Structure formats: structure tokens, C-alpha cells
A and B are shown apart, each in its own frame.
Chain A
Amino acid sequence: MSLVFYILAALTIAGALAAVLLKNTVHCALALTVAFAGLAFLFLNLDAQFAGFAQIMVYIGAVAILVVFAILLTKNSETPKDGVFSHTWLVGLLVAAAVFAMLSWAILQSVSRLPQAMPAPTVTVLQIGEALIGRYALPLEIVAVLLTVALIGAVIVAMHEKEGIQ
């Protein structure tokens, strides 16, 4: 368990904690970006370069910007005056803590049965391309259709409604 892993894990967890705890919404979005960057470096640490760079390009380059635009378009860029946590915050926190307890118990119970350190797989982009077109062609086409539908849907959902007929 190398030092690099601990530093990256600490960075990611700190970003995620800041993203759910800070008061100013834009600060939360920027902390989320730090969490995404930490995750991308964790992917790189796991020898998944394509996934890591795709994570940076899609999440930091598109989703973070989308979140920030939505914050600005809904006039949430100022710190809210009344509380930022809902009145049922304790129940939510307990549920999340219970989920974490259950997941970590499951992981720690099965540590002995998990695979030990394996040699790094050498994966080239050529193999990923061949896999996408060959074995995973159907999911690729479905994701393409889904992205088109999401694009059209998002535009229609967020469109201004025309007032009367001009």
C-alpha cells in the first residue's frame, strides 16, 4: 500500500467531504472537481490510463462545468441565508453511516479471500478499440442511442417555453 495511494485517497476523500459539507454551492462544485481529479489519478495508479483520461475529460471538462452552469442559472451562487442541511439531516447521516459500516465489514471480512497483488496488465488502446467494436458492439450502440436521447431530452427539458404564438 504505497504512499502515492494514501495521498491520492486522502485528496479524493477530502474533496468529497468538502463537496457535501461546504456552505457555498460553487465551492462545493469546485471541491467536487478536486474529488474527480483525485479519482482520475487513482485510475492512473491502477494502470487504467484510458479510463483516467476519459474521467478527466468527461467529468472535469463537462460534468463539472454543467454543474457550475446550473448553479449560476438557478441563482444559487450566493451563500444561502438559512441552513444548508435539510431538517431530516440526522436520519440521512445515520443511513449513510450504516451503509458504510456494512460495506466496510463486508470488505474486511473477505480480505483473505480477495486476490493478492497481481502483475500490471498491459492494455493498449488498440485492444480497447477492438473490444469496443467486437465484443461490446451492442452496448456501444445502445450507449450511443442513449447519449442522443439524453442530448435531445436535456435540450427539451431545459428549453424556454414560447409564450403564445407570435
Chain B
Amino acid sequence: MTPLAGYLLVAALLFSIGLAGALTRRNAILVLIGIELMLNAANLNLIAFWRYGPHPELLTGMIFAIFSIAVAAAEAAVGLGLVIQIHRHAKTTDLDQMNRMKG
């Protein structure tokens, strides 16, 4: 098993753990935590392929990962703002109770 395969397996495991968290937890914030884990797994994939792929001097993987970190932070901010506003309206963040389209 090459080093690259090891990193890719860790990234795949992180991704599935994040996916499981996003799909099974009730609290909206924990779903966002799962999403952040998935984004981080993708970043690990990018950096691993940058390191072990051809032409690492082009820095494509590293720059992609840096942009991905920035975008993920922005998305976490907006998502958490939404969760806070939903809590103000519905007084709960329990996703099982938010099963109606009407507010």
C-alpha cells in the first residue's frame, strides 16, 4: 500500500464519517459539523494528490485546497447564521421537528 493510498483511505473514511453524521444527527449544527468534516476530507485528498502527483511545482493542489478552506469558512458562517435565525423562529434546532414547508 503506497503512502498515497493510505492518505486517500483516511480521506474516504473521514468523508463517510462526516456523511454519516450529516445524515443521522438531529441537531442542525451537527449536520453542519458533518459537512465541515466532508470538506476537510476533500482538502486532504487534494493535498495528497498534489504531493504524490506529477508536477507538484505547479502548486495546483495546494492553491485549490487553500481556496477550498476559504470557501468552506464562508459557507460555515452563512450556514450557522441560518441556523441561528431558524432557532429564533421555530425555537428549536431539531431537524425531526422541521418537517413542514409552512413556517
- Chain A interface residues (CB < 8 Å from chain B): 1, 5, 9, 12-13, 16-17, 19-20, 25, 28-29, 32, 35-36, 39, 42-43, 46-48, 50-51, 54-55, 58-59, 62-63, 66-67, 69-71, 73-76, 80, 83-89, 91-93, 95-97, 99-100, 103-104, 107-108, 111, 114-118, 120-121, 123, 127-128, 131-132, 136, 139, 143, 146-147, 150-151, 153-155, 157-158
- Please indicate the chain A residues that have their CB under 8 angstroms from the CB of B32 in the complex: 67
- Please indicate the chain B residues that have their CB under 8 angstroms from the CB of A143 in the complex: 67, 70-71
A143 to B65 Cα, complex, angstroms = 13
- Please indicate the chain A residues that have their CB under 8 angstroms from the CB of B54 in the complex: 115
- Please indicate the chain B residues that have their CB under 8 angstroms from the CB of A89 in the complex: 23-24
Set B7, B76, B78: member contacting A42, Cβ < 8 A: B7
Question: Known: A99-B16, A107-B8. Is A121-B93 also a contact (CB below 8 A)?
Answer: no
- Please indicate the chain B residues that have their CB under 8 angstroms from the CB of A12 in the complex: 10, 14
How distant is B75 from chain A, measured CB to nearest CB, in Å? 7
Q: How many A-B residue pairs have CB under 8 A?
A: 241
Whether A48 contacts B50 by the Cβ 8 Å rule is yes
Set A32, A70, A85, A86: member contacting B80, Cβ < 8 A: A70
Question: Known: A16-B17, A99-B16, A158-B81. Is A54-B66 also a contact (CB below 8 A)?
Answer: yes
- Give 5 closest A-B pairs by Cβ, nearest first: A92-B23, A20-B21, A150-B74, A100-B16, A96-B20
Whether A48 contacts B65 by the Cβ 8 Å rule is yes
